[in-house]
Amino acid sequence: MGLMFLNALKKDKQLVHYLFVVFCGSLCMVGAQKISAPSLGEYQYFIGLFTCATCNASWLISRVLFREHNPISRRHVAVAVTIALLIMFNQTWHYLVSLDPQALSSSHVMWRLKQGMNEITGLLSSCILVLSFWESMRGFNSKTHAQKVQSVIFASAYFLAVFNASILPVFIFSPAEIELYNPIIITSSALLIVLAMQAVMALQASISNKQTSPQNYESEVGFDSDEVKHLSNSTHHQEQVPTELIAGISELINKKKLFLQTNLKISDFAQALMVPEYKISRAIRFHYKVANFNLFINQYRVNYAKALLASEQAKEWSILSIALESGFSSLATFNRVFKAIVGIIPNEYRKQNSDYQSPILAGLVE
C-alpha cells in the first residue's frame, strides 16, 4: 500500500507508474478480502471483484520495463482485460453460490461453465507469469550491463516467488502446516515481485536522470569538457565519416523525423541504417561535433518544441502536449533539457516568442 501511494503521488508519472499503482491496489484488495472474509461473509466477493489486476498487470508492467518501443498494444490490453473478466466472473459465481447454492448446484450447465472458466483462468494466469519472466530475460546477451542487472533482479524475484509459493512448502511443511502458513507464503512471494518491480523502476529512473541531468547538459551544450573540446577542435584525431552514413542519418532526422520517437536509442539508428552503433556515435562526434547521441537527438527535439511554442496553431496546447509531441517522455525531462539547452524554461520561451515564429523553425513543424 505504501508503494502504491508513493507511485500514485509521484509528479513525473509514466505508464509504468500507473500500471504499478493498479497492480499494488489489486494486491491490497487480495489482502483485504482474505482478512475480512470471516466477518463479511458473502460480501467479501465484492472486494474480490477488485482483485482482477494481479498476474495480468504484472505482465504489462514487465513489457513496459523491458521493451523500449510499443510495449503495449491493443491485443495485450485485450488479453489482460480477458483475464480480469474471468477473475470477476469467478468472484461473482462464488457470491451467487453463497446466496443460493441449491439453485446453482442443480444446473449442470452452469457448473460445467464454472469448471471450464477455472481451467482457462488457471492456464492463462500460468502463461502470463511465464511471459513476465521471459520479458525480463529476452535478448539478455545484447543488453547493456545496467539492463542485465535489471533483468536479473526481476527474473530472480519471479523465480524465487514461484519457488517459495509452490515448491518449497511441499518439502518443509505438512499439508496442515501449508494451510496454516499459506498467508505468509503468498504474502512473501507477492512482496518479492513488488519490491523487484520497484527496484527496476528506480534503477531506470536513476539512469534516465543521469543522462538528462542539467550539469551534464550544461557542459555538453557549451562543449566545456576537455574530451569534447578535443573531439571538436583537434585535427590530429579527426576521422573520416562515410558520406552515405551522414546522408542516412540526415534522412532519418530531417525526412523521417525519427527524433520525435519517444525513448529513441542509438541502436534504433544502427538498425535502420544497418551499421554498428559505434559508427553512429563516431559520426555524431566527429561530423556533427556533438558530445553524445542523447544530446544530438534532444537538440532536434528542443528546436521542434521551440517551433511549436512559437507557432499560432499550437498556442492553445499545454506544455505537456508539446513535450510529448516533441518526443520527450515526460514533462520534467522536457523542462530540464529545454532549460539546459535554451537557458529558460519552455513556458518563459513561449511568452517571449508568442508573437513571432522563425521561418526556419516553422519548417521543422511542417
Chain-centroid distance of CA 263 in Å reads 10
| Residue 291 three-state SS | coil
Is residue 309 within 8 Å of residue 350, measured between CB atoms? yes
Map out the domains of the chain with their CATH numbers.
2-211 (1.20.1070), 214-365 (1.10.10.60)
Please give the model's pTM, rounded to 2 decimal places: 0.59
H-helix or E-strand spanning residue 35 = helix 15-40
pLDDT at 105: 53
| Interaxial angle between packed helices 243-250 and 277-286, expressed in degrees from 0 to 180 and rounded to the nearest 10 | 90
pLDDT at 228: 40
H-helix or E-strand spanning residue 175 = helix 175-211
pLDDT at 100: 66
Per-residue pLDDT of the chain (366 residues; tens, 9 = 90+): 999 999 999 887 888 899 999 999 999 998 888 888 778 777 888 888 888 888 899 999 999 998 876 788 889 899 999 989 988 888 887 777 777 656 555 556 666 777 777 788 888 888 888 898 899 898 888 777 888 899 999 999 989 998 888 888 888 888 888 888 888 888 899 999 999 999 999 988 887 666 544 444 444 343 344 444 444 444 344 457 888 899 999 999 999 899 998 888 888 888 888 888 888 988 998 888 888 999 999 999 999 999 999 888 888 899 999 999 999 988 889 999 999 999 999 999 998 886 544 444 444 444
